[in-house]
Amino acid sequence: MSEPYYQPQADEIELFQSAHRQQLPILIKGPTGCGKTRFVETMARKLERPLYTVACHDDLTAADLVGRHLIGSTGTYWQDGPLTRAVREGAICYLDEVVEARKDTTVILHPLADDRRTLPLERTGEELKAAPGFTLVVSYNPGYQNLLKGLKPSTRQRFVCLNFGYPQREHEIEIVCREAGVASNIAARLVELGHELRRLEQHDLEEVASTRLLIHAGRMINSGVAPMRACRSCIIEPLTDDADVLQALMALVDLHFGET
């Protein structure tokens, strides 16, 4: 299988490779849709390691990560969770939006994220030593942090931190061209629109137009959908439910795509 397309922003590839060699856990901070997951997928392929990805949420329990006893036709048996499988196999375990998980769940990461590199399995009595090649990677969006949801300093300081943002304009145009299959002039208009919408983050929008949304719009345009309709459905509608704000944002779209 071919390697996922990823456009480097800085030296994140080299930093990830170095942290992997030194058996250090990695924390990726960045806004929604900026390429964090694609980056981890790319690094797993480059390093030729299996990848286990977990989308964290409020109901995620420690058992969901570590494993649990199940009942089968021959009786009770233990089934590893994705974190345990990664530890046994020397794989990469990626916990996406880790701050969404319950606090008692993230505590189990501590012995894996320091020099011990162990995972205690209380229900089986095992204490697993991470196999060579195992790397713990977590990510979160700092824009969503509040007093109730955020990584404690004692957790954050265990990780090598990579800070992501949206790509620079020329890189983002290349990404949209490649991922959406649109001409460079269409990609440039989408990226310019995205940059204008991002400047509104502190004014009218709780979230901004991510690279992911621009790619979605590009793909719709490439499939034959009119640009104005594609931008409304893929970029503007996902950003707001307010009719007045929507109308104002569509005026921006009209500036870029009104003639097409």
The predicted-structure confidence for 33-66, as pLDDT tens digits, reads as follows 999 999 999 999 999 999 999 999 988 888 999 9
Same domain, 111 and 216: no
What residue spans of the chain are helical by DSSP H? 12-21, 36-47, 62-66, 82-89, 103-106, 153-156, 169-180, 184-198, 211-222, 227-231, 237-239, 243-257
**pLDDT > 80? residue 73:** yes
Same domain, 151 and 173: no
* pLDDT, position 99: 87
Strands 135-140 and 92-96: parallel
What residues does 80 pair with on adjacent strands? 67
Same domain, yes or no: 173 and 159: no
Same domain, 106 and 183: no
Q: With 80 as the cut, is the pLDDT of residue 94 above it?
A: yes
What would the pLDDT profile of 114-134 be if each residue is shown by its tens digit? 999 999 998 888 999 999 999
Domain containing residue 52: CATH number: 3.40.50.300
Dump pLDDT digits (tens) for 8-27: 989 999 999 999 999 999 99
pLDDT for the residue numbered 254: 95
Beta carbons within 10 angstroms of residue 149's beta carbon: 14
Is residue 1 a part of any domain in this protein? no
Mean of pLDDT over the chain? 90
Looking at the fold, whether 188 and 238 belong to one and the same domain comes out as: yes
Predicted confidence band of residue 2 (pLDDT cuts 50, 70, 90): low
Supply the pLDDT for residue 102. Answer: 82
Contact, 141 vs 92, CB < 8 A? no
Residues 135 and 18 in one domain: yes
Query: What pLDDT is attached to residue 147?
Result: 42
Residues 179, 135: one domain?
Answer: no
Residues 142 and 203 reside in one and the same domain: no
> Could you list the residue range(s) of the whole structural domain that residue 237 is in?
169-257
Give 202's pLDDT tier (boundaries 50, 70, 90): low
Residue 7 lies in a domain: no
Place of tokens 């390093």: 47
Q: Which two tokens stand for residue 15?
A: 């930093």
Our count of domains for the chain comes to 2
pLDDT exceeds cutoff 80 at 149: no
Of 122, 143, 163, which one is at a domain's C-terminal end? 163
